[in-house]
Amino acid sequence: MSIFTGDFNSLPWLQEKTLRALQAAVSLVDLANEPDTTAWYKRKLLNVAEAQIERLAPVVALLYQAGSSAADRDEWGAMLEGGSFALATWCKKWQIADPSEMAKGSLRHLRSVEEDAEKAQESVADVFDGGLEEAIDLKLQIYGHMCHRLVHGELTSEAQRLLLWMLGGLWISDPPDVVSISKRFLPTDIGITAQQASDAYKLLYDQGIIERVNLSGEERADRLSLKLIVRGLNDSKHALEHQELQFGFPGARINGKVTIGQGKLVELPKTMAAVLGRWFKEDQELTDLRDTLQAQVGDDRIYVESAELKYRDGQPSVLVHFRYPIDGESKPLEEELVALSERWLTEHLILRPSE
């Protein structure tokens, strides 16, 4: 019997076809909800799914005579987040179809190992291929968009500082939407703590304002390349996921002041050098000495990075690396470090045998 003949009852056919179309639309939500679906594709999938579901759900409700309430967005809207399970709940509530059959849609995207590997394949990163005018236009659009985010966005003061710092370097950046920052010196650069820098970075990442990118030829481990994102303009289809990063370094600040680093070589008297040479035959860290120097001089004056035994021309000496406030004087600290180091060595290397 043809569906175009006058004797054909079209209602069951329309019910079945529209319901299957709705189920197919909802399956896009299931796909978007998979943990390895990138943010760009998730957003696109949900946009397509919503456009279809908001048209199909009222038609299905009408054909199944479920009532006008079933067509309300408040009723079917859960499908945009819950996918097939939410569709099953909607069908059960309004007695439209077998809920167990509708829920099976969420299992359609269970994949084999080969499919997992195929989906996990990384695409080549988006490359800007415009000329100078296009680059300038992109930078201007980023400046305008980020100004609005700074005014209206829910950003902490630390996140605002980080965003402003990146915008300050955008004018000379290449690619035109990517800024390179120093992980090691970022907290000092923008006047916040290492933890605050980490929190600010995560907030900007979670809000889709920045994306981490890997640029070819960027070899310095300290550098971090970040793309400033205007959604719909330059967001990446395969953006890298947020990754916890270590910002700053110990001793970057002392009493809130920026520090500078220095090394001091402690030359040893011949007798002490001879004893030290018998105890140690090669370069090595002197962690106990480092801890003693830090405790004796004080956290409010110095940060002792390391104390190392070094051999030069066969003679041992001690090299102390330390940091101190940029407006401080190094000479008094050096003299104190030398005196304390000699005392420690005397106590540990010369006096110990007689104990």
309 vs 47, higher pLDDT: 47
- Cα-Cα-Cα-Cα dihedral sign, residues 73, 75, 80, 83: negative
- The Cα–Cα gap between 313 and 306 comes to 22
Domain boundaries along the sequence of the chain = 10-120, 132-228, 253-354
What's the pLDDT score for residue 124?
46
- Worst-scoring range by mean pLDDT, 181-185, 281-285, 320-324? 281-285
In CATH terms, the fold of domain 132-228 is Arc Repressor Mutant, subunit A (1.10.10)
Helix (H) or strand (E) run with residue 334 in it: helix 330-345
C-alpha pair distances (Å), 54 with each of 62, 83, 178, 353: 13, 13, 38, 86
How buried is residue 319: exposed, middle or buried, by Cβ count under 10 Å (0-12/13-18/19+)?
middle
Tell me the three state secondary structure of residue 343.
helix
User: Measured between alpha carbons, how far is 273 from 185 in angstroms, rounded to an integer?
Assistant: 38
Q: In sequence order, which ranges of 94-237 are alpha helices (DSSP H)?
A: 99-103, 113-120, 132-152, 157-168, 186-190, 194-206
* Across 330-353, average pLDDT: 82
Whether residue 27 contacts residue 105, with contact meaning beta carbons closer than 8 Å, is answered with: yes
Q: In the structure encoding, which two tokens stand for residue 315, read together?
A: 């003679």
- Residue predicted with more confidence, 203 or 1: 203
Size of the chain in residues: 355
Q: 253-354 maps to which CATH number? A: 3.30.300
Taking 60 as the threshold, does the pLDDT of residue 122 lie above it?
no
User: Hey, what amino acid is at 299?
Assistant: D
pTM above 0.85, yes or no: no
Q: Are 279 and 349 in contact (CB under 8 A)?
A: yes
- Tell me what the mean pLDDT of segment 320-346 comes to: 90
Determine which helix (DSSP H) or strand (DSSP E) holds 75, and give its type and residue range: helix 73-76
Report pLDDT digits (tens) over 63-83.
Answer: 999 888 999 999 999 999 988
d(CA 49, CA 105) in angstroms, rounded, equals 14
Quote the CA–CA distance of 214 and 175 in Å, as a whole number.
12
Residue 335 confidence class, pLDDT cut points 50, 70, 90:
very high
- The reported pLDDT for the residue numbered 2 is 63
Strands (E), the chain: 178-182, 210-212, 223-228, 253-254, 257-266, 284-285, 303-312, 315-325
Residue at 243: amino acid letter: Q
